Amino acid sequence: MDFLTGIGSVLEPMHLLLLVGGVIIGLIFGTIPGLSGITAVALLVPFSYVLGAEAAIIMMIGVYVATSTAGSLAGSLFNMPGDVMGAATARDGYPLTLQGQAGRAISMDITASAVGGLIGTLLLVMIAPQFLRIALRFGPPEFFALAILGMTSVASLAMGSLVKALLAGTFGLLMATVGLDPVSGAVRFVFGVQPLQGGIDFIPAIIGFFAVAEIFHALYYGTGSGGYTKEDIKKVPRFALPSLADLKWTWKTMIRASLIGNFIGMLPGAGSTVAAFLGYGTEVQISKDKSKFGKGEIRGVVAPESANNAAAAGSMVPLLTLGIPGGAVTAIMLGVFILNGLRPGPLLFRDAPEIASSVFGALFMASVVVLITGLLLVRVLLRLLTIPFEIFSTMVLVFAVIGTFAIFNRPIDLWIMLVCGVLGFFAKQYEFPVSALVLGLVLGDIAEIGLVNGLNVTRGSWSVFFTRPFTTGTMGIAFVLLLLPVFFAIRRKRNAETDEPVSEQLI
Amino acid sequence: MSEQRTGRDGTDLDAGPPPGRFGRKKQEIVVAAVMLLGFLYLRIRLVEHVRGRRGAAYLDPDFWPGLLLNAGIVLALVYLVLAVIRARRPDPDLPAVPRKPVADAALAEEEDHHHDVALSGNPVALALGFLLLFGYIWGMTRIGFVPSTLLFSAGFLAFVGERRWYVITGFPVVLLGLMLYVFTRLLVVPLPRGRGFFVELSTYFY
């Protein structure tokens, strides 16, 4: 595993071309509200058969890094972010636009993202080997504890209802039990549908939950078209370059937010959205003049952008060293590794060190490419917002259907995608976090194997999950995370900031 | 920037969904009840839905699903109780819910919870969209990828409001060509060919 070797690998013409292609796809999908980076990465899975694991992962990293940046462009301009994490940036980015400083907001947005990505990658290169040493000692109880930590952190840190997040996570875990039991081989919950014995693969499910559900949502509310005009786009300069004064004023913020984001990204389940809001919140808290935030403070744009891009790099730590994905995108990447006969975890660094190096190199180079293409192509990207809903929704659905079929050539996956699209629509309608549902589906097997094998070894003694140092610590953190929303709800009530009872704040 | 943006059907995008007859709080109770019943049903009939040898290992194959279903029942019960408590509380007298910009909504989401407004949209559009996609998936294995994609693309374009005939006829052909090139030439994916006559038709394309 060598960082410079990874850079060298990514600079090979074919890999570089795929990385740039991935970045452009990511910028497109990230900019258009409703088309998330998750959808883009999921739709690229069939290409991994032709490209191979290394090239496919490089391309996907390009998409991942670019969507983390592009999600906030429309947020800063129109207060309608392409994804939720862009909402933190819009708090100050949009007021800047209203003050006639759209170019400033956009240029710092892209620059901070790139800096966050670069710092995050360097931290990843330093931290991953340390994680690897610990990971080699892990047994089933540790993996179960990590799965529980992932589930509790996605439930606790997700904005909204704790009960709904836990319900969504439980439902996701239950979905993962469909098909053959990974321990005993028993058939579970197939309801007479034989093809379901193969289980519910999470990639068709993710395409349903994100791409199909988003189109259903737009159909239901008739909000597909953004109604943006070319005049709206012209507010942004053709080439958005940051000023030296802004860079001087915000460099400390970028470093601080990157460190926070990277740490949050390493927590399974926490993700870039939490990182963005935590990066923003921290900057507000430590600022001498908090009143500037929300009114067009440039540090309010920089902090969430650096944090969410650093989180994207951080999320690679549990994926590469433990084989545990922290969110939907890393889950899809895990799927690509497995489809190509590789298993992320300590053995990946022994059996295929060039892949791990390429991940590091791709993350670093993707940030550089995003910086260059973002600053130069910003107005072209924003023109995408004028594409009619009729065209892109049709394209997305056709691509979703073919992309889903192409992964395993199984018609059952198409039905799974459709059902998950409906479930995703209702989840969004009633504010159940889809991220918790997906994480449950992804971590289901890991959690079950960890729990059942752990209990089998100890002949049913649960103490194994609470006596080993790592499991005790992990379970402790999970428990604290679970109690945090309740604690904050009670504190808010005591401070009389709201008249709502605690029960009201938990649903 | 235009101050007011409109959707493709002319609705104000910055306005929230209109109030429905069946309030949001009641809908939440129904959702909680459905989830509770679903988990209860699966828990009671667990043995029927898990087919495998029991007693062969220390833990049976229904141990983990049983654990999850128990957790689901407890959580759904909590959700139901909280939903009922909330429904019984009087509402602040607020007329309509202006939809917040996403940025505000994400930070101050709980404010929306105070309003008993049904998230009503256009269920007919949703149902038709679902049926079109259902038909596409169902038809693909019967009439093959080429005819089903052409029919779906043209139908969906028309359904979502496209009225220009050259777009409705031309775009599906371009899209199909692109998909065929990418998936049959680049990725060599065996796309569905359909049955009977459609198998022969499909062989002309891939």
Instruction: Please provide the distance, in angstroms rounded to a whole number, between the alpha carbons at the two ends of chain A.
Output: 46
Per-residue confidence (pLDDT) for residue A97, from 0 to 100: 84
Q: Which of A12-26, A382-396, A486-500, B172-186 is predicted with the least confidence, judged by mean pLDDT?
A: A486-500
CA-to-CA distance for A471 and A461, rounded, in angstroms? 14
Interface test with B, best of A50, A174, A392, A505 (most B CBs within 10 A): A174
What pLDDT is recorded for position B173? 96
Distance to chain A for B101, nearest Cα, Å: 6
User: Nearest residue on chain B to A397, judged by CA atoms?
Assistant: B133
Q: What is the three-class DSSP state of A422?
A: helix
Q: List strands edge to edge, sheet with A179-180.
A: A179-180, A187-188, B50-51
Distances in Å between the alpha carbon of B95 and those of A139, B16, B19, B88, B180? 56, 12, 9, 19, 52
Q: Does residue B128 or residue B188 have the better pLDDT?
A: B128
| Residue A164 to residues A95, A155, A404, A502, B2, Cα–Cα distance (Å) | 33, 8, 28, 15, 37
Q: Within 13 Å and on the Cβ side, how many CA atoms surround A411?
A: 15
Least confident among A72-76, A80-84, B134-138, B195-199: A80-84
Q: What is the mean pLDDT of residues A23-32?
A: 85
CA–CA gap between residue B186 and residue B83 (Å, rounded): 52
Cβ neighbours of A459 in B, within 8 Å: 58
Look at residue B19 in the predicted model and tell me its pLDDT. 44
Going from the C-alpha of A167 to that of each of A385, B74, B79, the distances in angstroms are: 35, 9, 9
What is the per-residue pLDDT for A226? 55
- pLDDT by residue (tens digit) across B88-142? 887 655 544 444 444 444 444 444 444 454 456 889 999 999 999 999 999 998 9
Distance (Å, whole) CA B32 – CA B26? 10
Quote the pLDDT of residue A34. Answer: 65
pLDDT score for B6: 43
Contact A311, A117 (CB under 8 A): no
Residues in A closer than 8 angstroms to B103, CB to CB, are: 75, 79, 81, 87-88, 90-91, 94
Q: Which of A271-285, A307-321, B100-114, B150-164 is least confident?
A: B100-114
Contact B81, A207 (CB under 8 A): no
Q: Helices marked H in A99-198 — which ranges?
A: 102-135, 140-157, 162-175
A408 compared with B29, residue with greater pLDDT: B29
pLDDT at A11 > cutoff 80: yes
Inform me whether the pLDDT recorded for A151 exceeds 90.
no
Residues 6 or more apart in contact with residue B52 via CB below 8 angstroms: A181, A184, A185, A186, A187, A188, B60, B61
The arithmetic mean of pLDDT across residues A111-126, rounded, is 93
A505 touching chain B per CB within 8 A? yes
3-state SS, residue B6: strand
User: Residue B50 and residue A174: Cβ atoms within 8 Å?
Assistant: no
Q: How far does CA A405 lie from the centroid of its chain? A: 24
Per the CB < 8 A criterion, the answer to whether B32 and B83 are in contact is: yes
**Is B168 exposed, middle or buried, given 0-12, 13-18 or 19+ CB atoms closer than 10 A?**
middle
Q: Which two tokens stand for residue A402?
A: 């073919």
Instruction: Give the start-to-end residue ranges of the domains of chain A.
Output: 3-506
Q: Do A81 and B103 touch (CB under 8 A)?
A: yes
User: Is the pLDDT score of A496 beyond 70?
Assistant: no
> How would you classify residue A179: left for phi > 0, otherwise alpha for psi between -120 and 50, otherwise beta?
left
Per-residue pLDDT, B106: 41
**Could you give the CA distance from residue A415 to residue A413 in angstroms, rounded to a whole number?**
5
For residue A398, pLDDT beyond 90 = yes
pLDDT of residue A504: 52
pLDDT of amino acid A1: 57
Question: Is the Cβ pair B75, A425 closer than 8 Å?
Answer: no
pLDDT at residue A108 greater than cutoff 50? yes
Residue B200: C-alpha distances to residues A155, A219, A386, B118, B188 (Å): 52, 36, 41, 51, 19
* Confidence band, pLDDT 50/70/90 cuts, at residue A228: low
Query: What does the block give as tokens for A473?
Result: 């610590």
Average pLDDT over residues A57-85: 81
* Residue B109: per-residue pLDDT: 41
So what's the pLDDT on residue A9?
92
Please give the average per-residue pLDDT across A290-301, as a whole number: 88
Q: Which of A225, A280, A284, A358 is nearest to A90 (CA)?
A: A280
Cα A170 to Cα A123, A220, B151: the distances in Å are: 33, 27, 39
Q: Which of residues 66-95 of A touch B (CB under 8 A)?
A: 75, 77-81, 84, 86-88, 90-91, 94
Residue A98 Cα, gap to closest chain B Cα (Å): 9
Domain positions in chain B are: 24-114, 123-203
Mean pLDDT for all residues in chain A: 86
Interface probe for A, chosen from B54, B148, B189 (most Cβ of A below 10 Å), is B189
CA distance A93 to A302: 9
Decide which of A100 and B11 is more confident.
A100
- Per CB-CB distance under 8 Å, the chain B contacts of A91 are 103, 107
Amino acid at A33: P
Average pLDDT estimate for A211-236: 77
- Kindly state the average pLDDT of the residues A375-395: 83
Residue A384 is given by DSSP the state G
Phi, psi of B23 (to 5 degrees): -60, 160
Residue A495 confidence (pLDDT) above 90: no
- How far is the C-alpha of A82 from the C-alpha of A73, rounded, in Å? 8
Mean pLDDT rounded to a whole number for chain B: 80
Q: Determine the pLDDT at residue A349.
A: 84
Q: Establish, for the pair of chains A and B, how many residue pairs have beta carbons separated by less than 8 Å.
A: 259
Task: Quickly state the pLDDT bin for A448 (edges 50, 70, 90).
Answer: very high
Task: Report residue A366's pLDDT band, with 50, 70 and 90 as the boundaries.
Answer: very high
Q: Is A47 on the interface with B (CB under 8 A)?
A: yes
> Would you give the DSSP letter of residue A362?
H
Chain-chain contact of B122 with A221 (C-beta, under 8 angstroms): yes
Residue scoring higher pLDDT (A161 or A189): A189
For residue B183, give every residue at least 6 positions away whose Cβ sits within 8 Å of its Cβ, in sequence order, or none: A46, A402, A406, B189, B191
What is the pLDDT at residue A16?
95
CB distance A398–B161 less than 8 Å? no
What is the ipTM, given to two decimal places? 0.82
What was the pLDDT predicted at A241?
83
Residue A500 has pLDDT above 90, yes or no: no
C-alpha distance from B174 to closest chain A C-alpha (Å): 11
Q: Is the torsion defined by CA of A371, A211, A84, A391 positive or negative?
A: positive
Note whether B102 contacts A277, CB cutoff 8 Å: no
Half-sphere exposure of A111 (CA within 13 A, CB side): 24
- Does A262 lie at the interface with B, CB-CB under 8 angstroms? no
Residue A286 confidence class, pLDDT cut points 50, 70, 90: confident
* pLDDT at residue number A158: 65
Q: What percent of chain B has pLDDT over 70?
A: 75
Burial A148-180 (b: 16+ CB within 10 A, else e): bbbbbbbbbbbbbbbbbbbbbbbbbbbbbbbbb
> What is the mean pLDDT of the segment spanning A438-447?
89
Which residue has better confidence, B181 or A272? B181
Taking the C-alpha atoms of residue A74 and residue A233, their distance in angstroms, rounded to an integer, is 10
User: Average of pLDDT values for B28-53?
Assistant: 92
